[in-house]
Amino acid sequence: TGAGADDDDDDGGDGAGAAEEAESTEDDAAAEEGGEEDADESEDATAKTEIGKRERAKLREMQKLKKQKIQEILDSQNASIDADMNKKGKGRLKYLLQQTEIFAHFAKGSQAAEKKNRGKGRHASKVTEEEEDEEYLKEEDALAAGGTRLLIQPSCINGKMRDYQLAGLNWLIRLYENGINGILADEMGLGKTLQTISLLGYLHEFRGITGPHMVVAPKSTLGNWMKEIQRFCPVLRAVKFLGNPEERNHIRENLLAPGKFDVCVTSFEMAIKEKTALRRFSWRYIIIDEAHRIKNENSLLSKTMRLFSTNYRLLITGTPLQNNLHELWSLLNFLLPEIFSSAETFDEWFQISGENDQHEVVQQLHKVLRPFLLRRLKSDVEKGLPPKKETILKVGMSEMQKQYYRALLQKDLEVINAGGERKRLLNIAMQLRKCCNHPYLFQGAEPGPPYTTGDHLIENAGKMVLLDKLLPKLKARDSRVLIFSQMTRLLDILEDYLMYRGYQYCRIDGNTGGDDRDASIEAFNKPGSEKFIFLLSTRAGGLGINLATADIVVLYDSDWNPQVDLQAQDRAHRIGQKKEVQVFRFCTEVLIYMWKWKGSSIFYLYLTENIACSILLRKK
């Protein structure tokens, strides 16, 4: 039995050893497999790294080829545009001299210099017989061909153009064919944007010119330009060049590339900031909206716009050219620098020596402007547009306003701004205007804290009392209202009032972003909109906005420049308006002068706020 036990023990030992050997073999095999897997993973990683390197090298090569290709396209595009630029010079001058003899006076200098360079005698001429014959044949072909005149609008333009808009397009085409830059100066609300877009559509459809064109406009109007291009001529590929540095970099790299766009729409500020990127292109047309901004030739915008290479320049402005001769010369110099090169010559030619010469000078100026400028008035061409009626509503001041007004005249600093800085009283006219609008514009005038919205917001300002009586009547007759003010802080007060009364409204001022601005306009104009009032600051909201769904304009306060108020009114009084437009101009009757004569007599003069402020400024 013991032997059997020993045998069993030996067999068990041999079995354990076999098991250990098996385990050892399995571990070695696993280790070998693990080593192989590690080696495979290492090889895979190396292979992936090599593939990544090759792909990156390939991408770099593709980017390089892409840039070369883009540069070739850009060079070819710019060369063709420059060639067209060189062709049009002589035709331009010939057209001008045919239009009126007055241009011969300005063109004398350049023609005389050209004659001097030719030398004398037939052997000194640099023109060969073949070149001269070719030039004569071109002139005969041009005379035989005549000018283009469209009887119907281009098929790529959606909607129906009015007759005067088609006439404006034909005028722009005539300028194009004669190599002339121009000023489209139709009164506000007659569709200058559509006429301009139709010109680009005509060039695209009939002349095979797809661009590139550049539209430079106030930032507030860029959204409207993009919408109008998409609405009226969707075949044009428009790019809005605006945004923060990252967004602009994306647009530069991916969208603003040769062959990828037809029209670049950008703002005055972006044209200055991104002039390096924009100067890469030779533009077919540079179109400047609200072009009175460049009437000063020494301004940064005017200097920047002159840097860009372009075939044609078109200025768009609804503001008539009513300023001095030098500003007129600045615009003409921008349009035709080779003709209107000297401001001194221009000033001398139109110098007024007496009242008798004024009529003659006006006639001469009309001759100068005739080939360049097209201006039509709504009263002349848009017979179907409902009329516009302006009513001045005069209102007195509340007791709080009288108190502040008296303190302003007496320069009582403690009453006005609760111990503020005295330098704020230096511009007395501005402080008086604040008082006429609402006394809560002064620090410490509003009761509080806590600040609550209540009837005191209305009762403490005469204009607010008038507005509170006017709005319910306008709402009852299903009218919609635009309220304009110069002061953003006053819009804050009006916003509190509208929330207090429960009126639905939209708002645009100088701090409103582009997307919010477009959303507000769309919300107000959409069919069945419940928005009753649109609050706008006159400077930020008075340009390039179509709010023809409103028929009431309230000018809560007036601008120093009456043209700005007219622009504001024309946000409603424009094409598409179906009702008569009523303009209510609020005006406070105020006591403007109160002074003592030798310590006894006191004189009072009651005037409206605008006249009062003007008198103060002249007296100052």
Sign for the CA dihedral angle at 564, 569, 572, 575 comes to negative
User: For position 425, what pLDDT does the model report?
Assistant: 59
DSSP state of 254: I
* Peptide bond between residue 450 and the one before it cis (omega within 30 degrees of 0): yes
340: three-class secondary structure by DSSP = coil
Q: 331-345, 382-396, 492-506: which has the highest mean pLDDT?
A: 492-506
329 vs 389: which has the higher pLDDT:
389
Position 427 pLDDT exceeds 50: yes
Residue type (1 letter), 381: V
Higher pLDDT, 595 or 202: 202
Mean pLDDT of 350-376: 69
Mean pLDDT of the 356-364 span: 64
SS3 per-residue string spanning 134-189: HHHHHHHHHHHHCCCCCCCCCCCCCCCCCHHHHHHHHHHHHHHHCCCCEEECCCCC
* Residue with the larger pLDDT of the pair 518 and 201: 201
**How far apart, in whole angstroms, are the C-alpha atoms of residue 408 and residue 240?**
48
Tens-place pLDDT, residues 149-176: 888 888 999 988 888 899 999 999 988 8
Give pLDDT tens digits for 526-542: 888 889 999 998 877 66
Q: What is the Cα–Cα distance from 242 to 514, expressed in whole angstroms?
A: 10
* Confidence at 616, pLDDT banded by 50, 70, 90: very low
Beta pairing class for 581-597 and 601-608: antiparallel
Q: Provide the sign of the torsion angle of the four alpha carbons 540, 481, 455, 585, taken in this order.
A: positive
Rounded CA separation 162/194 (Å): 10
**Most confident range, picked from 52-61, 208-217, 324-333, 464-473:** 464-473
Mean pLDDT estimate for the chain: 75
For 292, other C-beta atoms within 10 Å of its C-beta total 21
d(CA 70, CA 214): 19
Beta bridge mates, 395: 588
Dihedral sign (CA 127, 129, 131, 136): positive
Report the SS3 class of residue 546.
coil
Query: Where does 290-428 show beta strands of DSSP type E?
Result: 309-316, 373-374, 388-395
Measured CA to CA in angstroms, residue 522 lies from 227, 446, 506, 528, 550 at distances of 11, 35, 10, 12, 13
Return the pLDDT at 265: 94
- Tens digit of each residue's pLDDT (9 = 90 or more) over 19-30: 445 445 455 554
CA 599 to chain CA centroid, nearest Å: 56
CB 212 within 8 A of CB 283: yes
pLDDT at 94 over 70: no
Q: What is the pLDDT of residue 600?
A: 38
Closest CA to 441 of 423, 463, 411: 463
Helix (H) or strand (E) holding 387, with range, is: none
The average pLDDT across 109-116 equals 42
| Secondary structure string (H, E, C) spanning 553-575 | EEECCCCCCHHHHHHHHCCCCCC
Cβ atoms of residues 588 and 397 within 8 Å: yes
Kindly report, residue by residue over 41-71, the tens digit of the pLDDT.
666 667 657 766 766 676 567 667 756 766 7
Treating both helix axes as pointing N-terminal to C-terminal, what angle do 428-437 and 609-619 enclose, rounded to 10 degrees? Answer: 170
Q: Are strands 263-267 and 238-241 parallel, antiparallel or unpaired?
A: parallel
3-class DSSP assignment, residue 6: helix
Amino acid 351: pLDDT? 66
pLDDT of 237 higher than 80: yes
By CB atoms closer than 10 A (0-12, 13-18, 19+), residue 225 is: buried
Q: What is the mean pLDDT of residues 579-594?
A: 77
Asked whether the domain spanning 388-619 has the same topology as the one spanning 97-108+143-350+358-376, the reply is yes
Residues β-bridged to residue 316:
184, 289
SS3 592: strand
Q: What are the domain boundaries of the chain?
A: 97-108+143-350+358-376, 388-619
Q: CA-CA distance, 515 to 231, in Å (whole number)?
A: 18
Q: What percent of the chain has pLDDT over 70?
A: 66
Q: Say whether pLDDT at 335 is over 90.
A: no
Burial class (CB in 10 A: 0-12, 13-18, 19+), 502: exposed
What is the arithmetic mean of pLDDT over 566-573?
A: 82
Q: Residue 616 — φ and ψ, nearest 5°?
A: -60, -40
Task: Give the residue-averaged pLDDT of 87-91.
Answer: 54
Range with the poorest average pLDDT among 9-23, 289-303, 486-500: 9-23
Question: 297 Cβ partners below 8 Å, 6+ apart?
Answer: 303, 330, 333, 334
Could you tell me the pLDDT band of residue 434, with boundaries at 50, 70 and 90? confident
- Please report the pLDDT score of residue 12 as a whole number: 45
Measured at the CA of 292, the angle between CA 507 and CA 318, to 5 degrees, comes to 65
Q: CA angle 383-389-392, nearest 5°?
A: 160
Q: State the burial class of residue 238 (Cβ atoms within 10 Å of its Cβ: 0-12, 13-18, 19+).
A: buried
Q: Which residues in 278-333 belong to E strands, given as ranges?
A: 282-289, 309-316
Cβ-based neighbour number of residue 501 at 10 Å: 14
pTM of the prediction?
0.67
284 contacts 152 by C-beta, under 8 angstroms: no
Which fold would CATH assign to domain 388-619? Rossmann fold (3.40.50)
Report residue 290's pLDDT band, with 50, 70 and 90 as the boundaries.
confident
CATH says 97-108+143-350+358-376 is which class?
alpha beta
Output 559 or 584, whichever has higher pLDDT: 584
420: helix, coil or strand?
coil
33-37, 40-44, 434-438, 490-494: the lowest-pLDDT one: 33-37
Question: Which residue in the block uniquely carries the two structure tokens 């609760």?
Answer: 418
Angle at 170 between CA 383 and CA 83, to 5 degrees: 155
Q: Hey, how many other C-beta atoms are within 10 angstroms of the C-beta on 60?
A: 10
